[in-house]
Amino acid sequence: MTDHVSRQLDSTTSMQVRQHAALLSGRDFWSSVEGAGIRSIVMADGPHGVRMQGGEADHLGFNHSQPATCFPPGAGLASSWDPDLMCEVGKALGREARSLGVDVLLGPAINIKRSPLGGRTFEYYSEDPRLTGELAVAFVRGVQGTGVGTSVKHFAVNSQETDRMRVNAVVDERALREIYLSAFEYVVKNASPTSVMSAYNAINGEFCSENRWLLTEILRDEWGFDGLVVSDWGAIKDRVAALTAGLDLEMPGSGDEGPDALVAAVMAGSLDEKLLATSVGRLRRLADRTAITTDYDRSSDVEAHHLLARKAAGESIVLLRNEADTLPLRRGQKIAVLGELAVDPQFQGGGSSHVNPTRVDLPLDEIRDALGAERVVYSAGYSRTGNVTAAKELIESACEAASSADVAVIFVGLYEEDQSEGFDREHLDLPASHLALIDAVAKVAARTVVVLSNGGVVSLEPWHDQVDAIVEGWALGQAVGSAIADVLTGTVNPSGRLAETIPMALSDTPAFLNFPGEQEVVRYGESVFVGYRYYTSTNREVRYPFGHGLSYTTFVYSDPDIVVTASDAATARVTVRNDGQLVGSEVVQLYIAPAPSDVRRPIRELAAFDKVALRPGESRTLSFDLDRRVFAHWDASGSRWWVDPGTYELQLARSASDIAYTLQFRLDGDVEGPSDLTLDSTVKKWFEHPVVGPLLLDVMAAKMPDAQRGDSSENSTMLKMVESMSMGQFARFPGVDLSHGALDDLLTAAGQET
Ligand code: BGC
């Protein structure tokens, strides 16, 4: 323990310390304290709508908030794979936030979907950090373009709700860097978010809110973050440790407790008052960055924003299956709409992100509007609250409706109580009454379409093969009904792609054995093998892979090409053409298969993507700059990003499991300088070094008896046996006898050659 000498502060300093300490703790639930020329800053959830509470405040969505447009939550929006759309939605959210008096919107929420059971997967974007990062950059730019701030959350590794306030996530550094921190890094470096929200959980033994490595060394020193760090609501356990670690603002306010603790620590000499001043400086900057510069006319926004919510929801829908062109529905067909969710839709999850929508479009009304009320019958099929006898009757009437229709469209999904902040799910199944309805209807209907409303992945078993089409509706926000009708009727050509894998079974998922942990510890045993990285690397069958999604038109790719532009960069090109009869959008996905490496790498990783809208017959050539990070892995032993030299493969794909073209190319990659080799480096490293290796071989060969010199297969077996030894150990071996002086000379000679 360090001994601190308590201090006598002069009265000006003492007043300033008190004022600073007060400013660094919230005034109430949603705003900061005003003082020192800094105005009070108002914050609100977030992320997919503005939850501005007028009355009783809470952070779990219990109490009402003012009406605001409910855009699709993250699970939906991310399935659009469309950064431009994210930006547009961000702008609309910024305008609404502004008009409701909100300075900072608490989002985007960009934790990685480690397990489909995660309670907040409906809010989060994807299992892939690059997709998450690019979409989040666009979202932040959109919101901040209106002058409203964002708070990128929850930093970091908040991939579960179970025990979220206490759980210690034990994660190896490669998984942290490559998977869990990567999207945050991307946003910080490319969109300059005004704030970052620290998570509740601990990482490797240190709570995020008190984690200096995370909040200062990585976030600020490495990534250059210059905004404010705010705590998740109530996340701080030790105010002084939090400030010292780099957490600026405590939210919500803790009354006198937080400020008093800071003042006492300064007086006791254990906290430098400069740290308080620095954090207050960041608060001032946040106030400046979010200062009101423009006025928005809210009245005109409501309708325009609802239309945008409809467009966004339409782009979020993923057409999973469409046998014999069952969809789109055609005018004149008799349609049976089944399932209570068609009249009482689910379009968001529970918890702090819960938005009070300005209106809600009901699927049944919208389908009737589009196809003619007389062609569409409705039957509830199940009841959220009903009993077993009633359930049987509901299914019978649904089957009756289905058997006299051309197509039965069944609405099934999860309810808000199934997917919420605060707890994780325990299984992936749809409610039993929904499964029973699908099973019964599929047996009698001429054609069956299933429309899913679910914030998190649900199992499509055992009914998948019994139905003709499946529309993955995710959580679509307030325009749920019109957006689904648009896609079902073909007014909108589906263009969403899965941002997460749909597995065959829960037990197939990579975190199955380690989720959600026990006794307040969760081990990220699967390391970097999250989502498709795991399924593809282990060749495990999935129901639908990451990146999958159908369209009512077809696209063909041609002329793929890759040009290496540097030792660690390349540019890829491909032409895509709409070969069908309808306007549509294709998501072109590029994956990279890595060169052989010392570390075990996923067999492919998403490197780039682009969404392109094409008229029938139209084609476009797309170009992708692939930077160093696309090829690199985190080299934990050297604490650096590292690009292995060797042959890589560009894979042009329709999903993580459907590769259309491959192109191989060589990268020179990173090479250790001779001076990076030490006596502790392995024999393998020495021999593999492009300059040192050959020199070493010459020295060794000179020492060998003539008879052995030429036998290269024997030599390489010998080398394999010793390659993991340190050079120091190897050099001392009888028969090797390389003196340290000889090795030094060798490195000097190599240094002169490079
Ligand atoms: C959530 C945050 C949210 C905050 C304020 C917390 O419970 O984790 O995402 O922004 O409450 O409502």
Which of residues 646, 667, 688 is at a domain's end? 667
| pLDDT tier at 16, thresholds 50, 70, 90 | very high
Which one is predicted more confidently, 476 or 53? 476
- Percent of the chain whose pLDDT exceeds 70: 97
Ligand 1 centroid – CA 208 distance (Å): 15
Angle at 203 (CA atoms; ends 20, 143), nearest 5 degrees = 60
Task: Assess if residue 620 is contained within a domain.
Answer: yes
Which ligand 1 atom is at minimum distance from the Cα of 51?
12
Does 711 share its domain with 661? no
Average predicted confidence (pLDDT) for the chain: 94
| pLDDT tier at 297, thresholds 50, 70, 90 | low
Which residue carries 């089409």 as its tokens? Answer: 469
Mutate to test the pocket of ligand 1, among 233, 353, 423 (most ligand atoms within 8 A of CB): 233
Task: Assess if residue 61 is contained within a domain.
Answer: no
Tally of domains within the chain? 4
Residue 658 pLDDT = 97
Query: What are the residues whose beta carbons fall under 8 Å from the beta carbon of 331, sequence distance 6 or more?
Result: 371, 372
Residue 1 has pLDDT above 60, yes or no: no
Range of the domain at 636: 555-667
Task: Assess if residue 44 is contained within a domain.
Answer: no
Does 107 share its domain with 253? yes
Residue 396 has pLDDT above 90, yes or no: yes
Ligand 1 centroid – CA 235 distance (Å): 10
Residue 54 has pLDDT above 80, yes or no: no
Does 403 share its domain with 500? yes
Q: Which of 45, 103, 163, 232 is catalytic?
A: 232
Task: Assess if residue 40 is contained within a domain.
Answer: no
Residue 36 pLDDT = 97
Mutate to test the pocket of ligand 1, among 32, 45, 159, 208 (most ligand atoms within 8 A of CB): 45
Residue 281 pLDDT = 98
Which ligand 1 atom is at minimum distance from the Cα of 158?
8
Per the annotation, the verdict on 232 as an active-site residue is yes
Residue 749 pLDDT = 85
Does 216 share its domain with 82? yes
564: CATH: 2.60.40.10
Does 710 share its domain with 568? no
Task: Encode pLDDT of 620-676 as tens digits.
Answer: 999 999 999 999 999 998 999 999 999 999 999 999 999 999 999 999 999 888 888
DSSP assignments along 572-625, one per residue: EEEEEEE-SSS-EEEEEEEEEEPPP-SS---S-EEEEEEEEEE-TT-EEEEEEE
Residue 720 pLDDT = 83
* Alpha-carbon gap, residue 387 to 712, rounded angstroms: 78
Residue 77 has pLDDT above 90, yes or no: yes
417: CATH: 3.40.50.1700
51: nearest Cα among 35, 39, 65: 65
Task: Assess if residue 396 is contained within a domain.
Answer: yes
Residues with CB under 6 A from ligand 1: 45-46, 59, 106, 153-154, 232-233, 352
* Alpha-carbon gap, residue 709 to 121, rounded angstroms: 61
Does 137 share its domain with 271? yes
Residue 390 has pLDDT above 90, yes or no: no
Ligand 1 centroid – CA 421 distance (Å): 9
Does 433 share its domain with 337? yes
Mutate to test the pocket of ligand 1, among 62, 104, 106 (most ligand atoms within 8 A of CB): 106
Task: Assess if residue 131 is contained within a domain.
Answer: yes
| pLDDT tier at 360, thresholds 50, 70, 90 | very high
Task: Encode pLDDT of 698-738 as tens digits.
Answer: 888 887 776 666 666 777 777 888 889 999 999 988 888 88
In this structure, the residue with its CA closest to atom 12 of ligand 1 is 59
Which ligand 1 atom is at minimum distance from the Cα of 58?
12
81: nearest Cα among 454, 532, 572, 608: 608
DSSP-derived secondary structure letter, 220: I
Ligand 1 centroid – CA 654 distance (Å): 36
- Percent of the chain whose pLDDT exceeds 90: 83
Mutate to test the pocket of ligand 1, among 50, 59, 420 (most ligand atoms within 8 A of CB): 59
Which ligand 1 atom is at minimum distance from the Cα of 352?
12
List C-alpha distances in Å: 264 to 4, 8, 25, 114, 251. Answer: 12, 12, 15, 41, 20
Q: What is the 3-state secondary structure (H, E, C) of 411-437?
A: EEECCHHHCECCECCCCCCCCHHHHHH
Summarize the confidence of residues 152-165 as an average pLDDT. Answer: 97
Does 679 share its domain with 649? no
Residue 261 pLDDT = 98
Which ligand 1 atom is at minimum distance from the Cα of 164?
8
DSSP-derived secondary structure letter, 249: B
* Alpha-carbon gap, residue 81 to 132, rounded angstroms: 9
Ligand 1 centroid – CA 353 distance (Å): 8
Does 251 share its domain with 331? no
Angle at 229 (CA atoms; ends 89, 521), nearest 5 degrees = 95
Residue 440 has pLDDT above 70, yes or no: yes
49: nearest Cα among 70, 78, 73: 70
Ligand 1 centroid – CA 130 distance (Å): 24
Residue 274 has pLDDT above 70, yes or no: yes
Residue 623 pLDDT = 98
Task: Encode pLDDT of 325-352 as tens digits.
Answer: 999 999 999 999 999 999 999 999 999 9
Ligand 1 centroid – CA 445 distance (Å): 45
In this structure, the residue with its CA closest to atom 11 of ligand 1 is 59
Which ligand 1 atom is at minimum distance from the Cα of 45?
10
In this structure, the residue with its CA closest to atom 9 of ligand 1 is 352
Residue 299 has pLDDT above 70, yes or no: no
Residue 227 has pLDDT above 80, yes or no: yes
Ligand 1 centroid – CA 59 distance (Å): 5
| pLDDT tier at 746, thresholds 50, 70, 90 | confident
80: CATH: 3.20.20.300
Residue 283 pLDDT = 98
Task: Encode pLDDT of 103-154 as tens digits.
Answer: 999 999 999 999 999 999 999 999 999 999 999 999 999 999 999 999 999 9
Task: Assess if residue 251 is contained within a domain.
Answer: yes
Strand segments, DSSP code E, in 22-179 are: 43-44, 104-105, 149-155, 168-170
